[in-house]
Amino acid sequence: MDAKRHELNIQLAQMLKGGVIMDVTNVEQAKIAEEAGAVAVMALERVPSDIRKDGGVARMSDPAMIAEIKKAVSIPVMAKARIGHFVEAQLIEALRIDYIDESEVLTPADEECHIDKTKFSIPFVCGARNLGEALRRIAEGAAMIRTKGEAGTGNVVEAVRHMRTMNREIRQLREMPVEEVTGFAKQNGLPYELAMQVKELGRLPVVNFAAGGIATPADAALMMQLGCDGIFVGSGIFKSANPQARARAIVKATAYFNDPQKVLEASLGLGEAMPGLEIGQIPPEQLLAKRGW
Amino acid sequence: MNNNQKNIKSGAIGVLDLQGGVFEHLIHLERLGVAGRRVKYPPDLANLAGLIIPGGESTCISRLLNIFEIKEPLLAAYRAGMKIWGTCAGAILVAGEVTGEQACLSIIDIAIERNSFGSQLDSFQKEALIPEIAAEPLPLTFIRAPKILRAGPDVNILLKVDDYIAAAESDKVLATVFHPELTGCIALHRYFAKKCGLTTETDKKTAIDPLWKNESWTKLARIAK
């Protein structure tokens, strides 16, 4: 991929700022998401909470299903490839959709290597728990970052942890003298050049969305107030009592995240949110955020 | 509720701040020494000389315009003399006719088609000369861009490429399907400021600011100050 193409891919993510990207599993849901004001949809066969429930190996979705969703909406379409599964990524690129999520929600195909994203023309978004993960993914060619959170739980605690961790590390980097950056970069596994860029910018050089456990308008506004540029909602919409109303409400709350009155209005009369999972109740080997490094 | 209300003054250009590339436009206005203001609530429209509707997702922005009751105040400000510039999604929102869907603001007689080039893999950069805007070729960035398919008799076509129109204007409205705010090109922002009756900093006559970097917008979205 040439530098111009990479810049265009980073810029598409910039155009998604302040928006909500929704997981959808069929054409009908994709249309509901688009109508509600989603800025993009993530096409997948099962939302994370079902993947968690079903167990087994979770792979890339049926390409026919992704293609159908692409046909049904005019907003950008994303799809997930397994961590390290560069052939799944090649197939998604051949489908000519808009973005690939190299995602820990699917079962990793490679426990040592993430995909070399510089070999692709299609942009990638990747999950991160801290600044090191974020910058390693950017070094590999990711054009957009999101928190990992803990997908399919309806519990925002891990997304908050990941965003706070990144913010803390950015603040540390920003304030330290240049001669300390080498050691900090070594300790946290930060590619040095990118660490210097983050130090200069005071944030990631690409768009950073929140993902993993966002279930309510208040969750979305919380992540935005913590400094995220936009929101991914996975199971939170179509596993709730009234997906249409909840989708619209999360769009509203994301746009007006700093205005409690508007977030309150968005939160009224939505019916039941998706059922939530306590992180401590999940067996450690079933934690998705630990996948990838 | 709204910090902007305190220091409202005339001579500013607003950027509609519901979703999309807001910071990118504000940083360009700053480069030209033009006062920029985020427009999130109807009172933010007071005394604006012009309003930029940024790139983003047009369905999202149009929904938010409606549900937060900004559309009518925005149209009232427009009728009172505020100029409007729509870039990409913004061009779709100002158009009088949108292929396959209801028009939103309908303030310029153009027909436009959303996402007319294909997927992100079909996004591209190119250069073109727009004589009304600048004497040198300008970098143009098309991201999942729409195409203007037709322009009415009162609309001046600024740039035609192949079979489509990429930039057009009426007395009060400018529409571009590309993103000058995603390049170092400040000529279109200067042109729009002039259209709004504003003067820009005289020492910056160049069409392209060499100091621009794609990360420039992040200055307005820092985690650590």
Shortest distance, CA A200 to any CA of chain B (angstroms) = 10
**pLDDT tens across A204-239, in order?**
999 999 999 999 999 999 999 999 999 999 999 999
User: What CATH class does B12-224 carry?
Assistant: alpha beta
Q: Which of B118, B125, B215 sits opposite A8 (nearest CB)?
A: B125
Pairing of strands B48-53, B36-39: unpaired
**pLDDT tens across A156-209, in order?**
999 999 999 999 999 999 999 999 999 999 999 999 999 999 999 999 999 999
If you write DSSP's letter for every residue of A16-53 in order, what string do you get?
TTT-EEEEESSHHHHHHHHHHT-SEEEE-SS-HHHHHH
Query: Which residues of A does the annotation mark as catalytic?
Result: 80
pLDDT of residue B203: 57
Single-letter amino acid code for the residue at B170: S
Counting one residue from chain A and one from chain B, the pairs whose CB atoms sit within 8 A come to: 139
Give the SS3 label for residue A121: coil
pLDDT of residue B225: 76
Domain-wise residue ranges, chain B = 12-224
Instruction: Look at residue A113 and tell me whether its pLDDT is greater than 50.
Output: yes
Q: What percent of chain B has pLDDT over 70?
A: 94
**pLDDT tens across A40-73, in order?**
999 999 999 999 889 899 999 999 999 999 999 9
For all residues of chain B together, what is the average pLDDT? 93
Count of C-beta atoms within a 10 Å radius of residue A6: 18
Q: Which of B60, B179, B218 sits opposite A19 (nearest CB)?
A: B60
**pLDDT tens across B171-211, in order?**
999 999 999 999 999 999 999 999 999 988 765 578 999 99
Single-letter amino acid code for the residue at A79: A
- Name residues whose C-beta falls within 8 Å of residue A293's C-beta, 6 or more positions apart in sequence: A133, A136
**pLDDT tens across A83-108, in order?**
999 999 999 999 999 999 999 999 99
pLDDT of residue B10: 56
The verdict on a CB contact (< 8 Å) between A251 and B89 is no
pLDDT of residue B6: 37
pLDDT of residue B204: 58
What ipTM did this prediction achieve?
Answer: 0.95
Shortest distance, CA B83 to any CA of chain A (angstroms) = 23
Q: Work out the average pLDDT over A119-126.
A: 98
**pLDDT tens across B130-176, in order?**
999 999 999 999 999 999 999 999 999 999 999 999 999 999 999 99
Convert B147-166 into a string of H (helix), E (strand) and C (coil).
EEEEECCCCEEEEEECCEEE
Q: Work out the average pLDDT over B20-47.
A: 96
* d(C-alpha B48, C-alpha B85), whole Å: 13
Query: What are the phi and psi torsion angles at A4 (to 5°)?
Result: -65, -45
Reported as type and span, the H/E element at residue B84 is strand B83-87
Contact criterion met (CB below 8 Å) for B129 and B138: yes
Q: Which of A12, A74, A259 sits opposite B143 (nearest CB)?
A: A12
The verdict on a CB contact (< 8 Å) between B224 and A262 is no
Test mutation, A17, A34, A96, chain B, max B CBs within 10 A? A17
More confident residue, B7 or B121: B121
